[in-house]
Amino acid sequence: MSTKIDPSQFVYIEEFYNSEEFKEKYTYTGDDLGSNYSKEATTFKVWAPTAKKILLQLFEKGVGGEPYEVYEMEKGEKGVYAKTVSKDLNGVYYTYLVTSLDDDTEEAVDVYARATGANGKRGMVVDLSSTNPEGWENDKRVHLAKNTDAVLYEVHIRDFSISETTSAKNKGKLLGMVETGTVNSEGLATGIDHLKELGVTHVHLLPSFDYFSVDEENLDTPQFNWGYDPLNYNVPEGSYSSNPFDGAVRIKEYKEMVQKFHENGIGVVMDVVYNHTGYNDESYFHKTVPYYYHRTFENQFTDASACGNETASERSMVRKYMIDSLTYWMKEYHIDGFRFDLMGIHDIETMNQISDALHEISPECIIYGEGWTGGPSPLAEELRAVKNNTTKLRRIAAFDDNIRDGIKGHVFNLDEKGFVNGGEGYEEEVKFGIVGAVSHDQIDLSKCKTATKFWANNPTQCVNYVEAHDNLTLWDKLLISAEEASEEDRIKMDLLSNAIVILSQGIVFLHAGMDFIRTKGGEENSFASPDSVNAIDWDRKSTYKNVFDYNKGLLSLRKSSPLFRLETAEEVRAALTFLEEGVNWQGKNVIGYVLKNETEQFVVLYNANKTAVEITIPEGDYEVVVNETQAGVEAIEQFTGSKIEVPPISTLVLKK
Ligand code: CA
């Protein structure tokens, strides 16, 4: 595709856009991009320095029909085009016809649009105050004293309520997320009641902004997508609303969902995907300012996302866009935090500015992301917000793939085993996650298989997990990698995995349904698979009730003592001492540690072997609060002495 502007003094478009000259001439700092509504008039503003001419088209509907009015916009400072229409335009749809320097004209949706019609083909002017549910002014984000108090539950909106195994009525919808009193076929709680019963602090919603791969005009046709193909960043996804044709409905219902979560003490984290656009040259960014929002190399899109393109966060107006968009979600929708998809594509400076802006709105905002890219990027490694640069990030955490793969074996090598399922030599990797990826004298990095540095300043920067929407579920991984094991042993491996994640320092991250053994039938990448693969089967909560109760008990134990939720690396080093192989026990595949402050002491023991192991612990009178079948805060039994046997493939936690 030809470049649509003529940066005559530059050979390549990226040199033009990366130049100081462009930045100085065209960085706009106003907070009024988009449509600015009042009853009397709406002012439209769009940043498009490379445009020759822009027409504003107004439509009665979000889909179909011709524009009923067309206005030419006026070019003002810093490449911003503006037009004020002195009418009440609430509910009016609009697009821009952008003519570039080479006379090519493209129809684009306002990238700042806050509402759209079905399938996000037209923006909509909206009186946001009319979308607030009753009592919205009293809605408050959840309290999060420190990141390590967070227990995140990653869920796809459709998966959560679409199954016939839950009595939820708003199947697959925003409002289905917050229906109370719903149950499975045996009467056990599902949905939001289940989340409260389990004890999570935040839901982490897979993409819930407008993406294009589900056809909102044909929702009766079975469709599914995770939604990592962004279309309109400032608009909720239409297919999750009860009526995608009216742009106000999804806004209202999204707010209602947030409000109900908050009323139930649960925060809402959005999974955000600013690292690429769903379309390449058909993206509204590109149609508005060709090639500006994306990184290119010799005029070609580069592809660090493995989805066809990557955005250029380091450019001033992309950075501004991300900050404006995120602060909008936070202020307008009262969002509690954000998970950044492929955060390693973004530059460190942008992420830090985002963090500062969001923490200014709420000091308790939680921010974390995937500290990697999906492929090579022209952005220099030292500038990327990748995991090994987490120490340069301010109040931003990264996913700990070291402990993820250490616990169960590598995600891409399906039959590779890890600590819990019979692998050898994974102890150090698991210990690395147990301390929350901070420096600790008793961890020998040279023995780690994947970790190359202590990449977190504090455990508040480390998100521990063993399963997420990507790759095999833990259970499916155990089925493949521990094929020889009995079902009973695999359940033990599952419990041991969750105990490690839930009792480790850092932030706890759980994938929806894994608390009662989620399976996707062995599918590794179910991004477009049907409900039969993706829907949460709530009846498994009955089948694996003991697993659910165990996980719930582990979370209550975590909550019961600050020792499991330490905030700083210093606190971890002072409180956490590993017991040692050859001293406290003989043989491999065992991890043990003591957690201690002035008032409490815990001994945490993990035995991944198929045989029991005798472990020497500090002499004392203890209560056993976690054993191979039960977990919680109450004493299961008493123990006095210093030599204790840990059964095969199990966890033992003693409290003094
Ligand atoms: Ca959509």
Q: Output the 3-class SS for 265-285.
A: CCEEEEEECCCCCCCCCCCHH
Angle of CA points 291, 213, 311, to nearest 5°: 25
Nearest one of 320, 358, 329 to 205, comparing CA atoms: 329
Residue 145 has a CB neighbour count (10 Å cut-off) of 9
Average predicted confidence (pLDDT) for the chain: 97
Active site residue 341: yes
Q: Which residue has the tokens 């939680």?
A: 366
pLDDT in tens, 88-120: 999 999 999 999 988 999 999 999 999 999 999
pLDDT in the model for residue 6:
56
pLDDT in the model for residue 79:
97
Angle of CA points 296, 301, 303, to nearest 5°: 105
Residue ranges of E strands in 440-588: 462-464, 507-511, 576-578
Ligand 1 centroid – CA 16 distance (Å): 33
Instruction: Tell me: pLDDT of 557 over 60.
Output: yes
Residue 530 has a CB neighbour count (10 Å cut-off) of 11
Sequence letter at residue 172: G
Ligand 1 centroid – CA 118 distance (Å): 7
Ligand 1 centroid – CA 229 distance (Å): 9
Nearest one of 476, 509, 273 to 400, comparing CA atoms: 509
Nearest one of 89, 115, 56, 131 to 245, comparing CA atoms: 115
In whole angstroms, how far apart are CA 204 and each of 390, 499, 508, 573, 581? Answer: 21, 21, 12, 30, 38
Lowest average pLDDT, out of 5-19, 176-190, 236-250, 456-470, goes to: 5-19
Nearest one of 295, 332, 227, 233 to 12, comparing CA atoms: 295
Q: What percent of the chain has pLDDT over 90?
A: 98
Active site residue 634: no
pLDDT in the model for residue 370:
98
Residue ranges of E strands in 502-543: 507-511
Residues in Cβ contact with 200 at an 8 Å cutoff, skipping those fewer than 6 apart: 151, 152, 153, 266, 510, 555
**Band of pLDDT at residue 4, cut at 50, 70 and 90:** very low
pLDDT in the model for residue 1:
38
Q: Which residue has the tokens 């090639």?
A: 291
Angle of CA points 272, 277, 279, to nearest 5°: 145
Report the alpha-carbon distance of residue 356 to residue 395 in Å, rounded.
9
Ligand 1 centroid – CA 157 distance (Å): 13
Ligand 1 centroid – CA 168 distance (Å): 23
Ligand 1 centroid – CA 639 distance (Å): 57
Ligand 1 centroid – CA 239 distance (Å): 6
Instruction: Tell me: pLDDT of 608 over 50.
Output: yes
pLDDT in the model for residue 9:
75
Ligand 1 centroid – CA 163 distance (Å): 22
pLDDT in the model for residue 630:
98
Nearest one of 387, 382, 405 to 397, comparing CA atoms: 387
pLDDT in the model for residue 201:
98
Residue among 149, 246, 303, 341 flagged as catalytic? 341
Ligand 1 centroid – CA 248 distance (Å): 14
As a whole number, mean pLDDT of residues 371-383 equals 98
Report the alpha-carbon distance of residue 406 to residue 419 in Å, rounded.
6
In whole angstroms, how far apart are CA 466 and each of 187, 472, 545? Answer: 29, 10, 20
Instruction: Tell me: pLDDT of 534 over 60.
Output: yes
In whole angstroms, how far apart are CA 68 and each of 55, 56, 655? Answer: 13, 11, 72
Residue among 106, 110, 216, 370 flagged as catalytic? 370
Ligand 1 centroid – CA 119 distance (Å): 5
Ligand 1 centroid – CA 246 distance (Å): 13
Sign of CA dihedral 284, 286, 292, 298: positive
Report the alpha-carbon distance of residue 570 to residue 624 in Å, rounded.
28
Following CA atoms 357, 361, 366, 369 in sequence, which dihedral angle do they give, to the nearest 10 degrees?
-30
pLDDT in the model for residue 7:
65
HSE-CB of 283 using CA atoms within 13 angstroms:
29
Ligand 1 centroid – CA 176 distance (Å): 18
> What is this structure's pTM?
0.97
Backbone angles phi, psi at 227, to 5 degrees: 105, 25
Report the alpha-carbon distance of residue 432 to residue 441 in Å, rounded.
11
Report the alpha-carbon distance of residue 565 to residue 269 in Å, rounded.
20
Report the alpha-carbon distance of residue 465 to residue 25 in Å, rounded.
45
Backbone angles phi, psi at 250, to 5 degrees: -65, -30
Ligand 1 centroid – CA 210 distance (Å): 4
- Per DSSP, the residues of 585-615 read BSSSSEEEEEEE-SS-EEEEEEE-SSS-EEE
HSE-CB of 221 using CA atoms within 13 angstroms:
8
Distance of CA 519 to the CA centre of its chain: 20
Residues in Cβ contact with 562 at an 8 Å cutoff, skipping those fewer than 6 apart: 597
pLDDT in tens, 411-449: 999 999 999 999 999 999 999 999 999 999 999 999 999
**Band of pLDDT at residue 10, cut at 50, 70 and 90:** confident
Ligand 1 centroid – CA 108 distance (Å): 16
Report the alpha-carbon distance of residue 317 to residue 231 in Å, rounded.
18
Instruction: Tell me: pLDDT of 2 over 50.
Output: no
Ligand 1 centroid – CA 337 distance (Å): 22
Residues in Cβ contact with 381 at an 8 Å cutoff, skipping those fewer than 6 apart: none
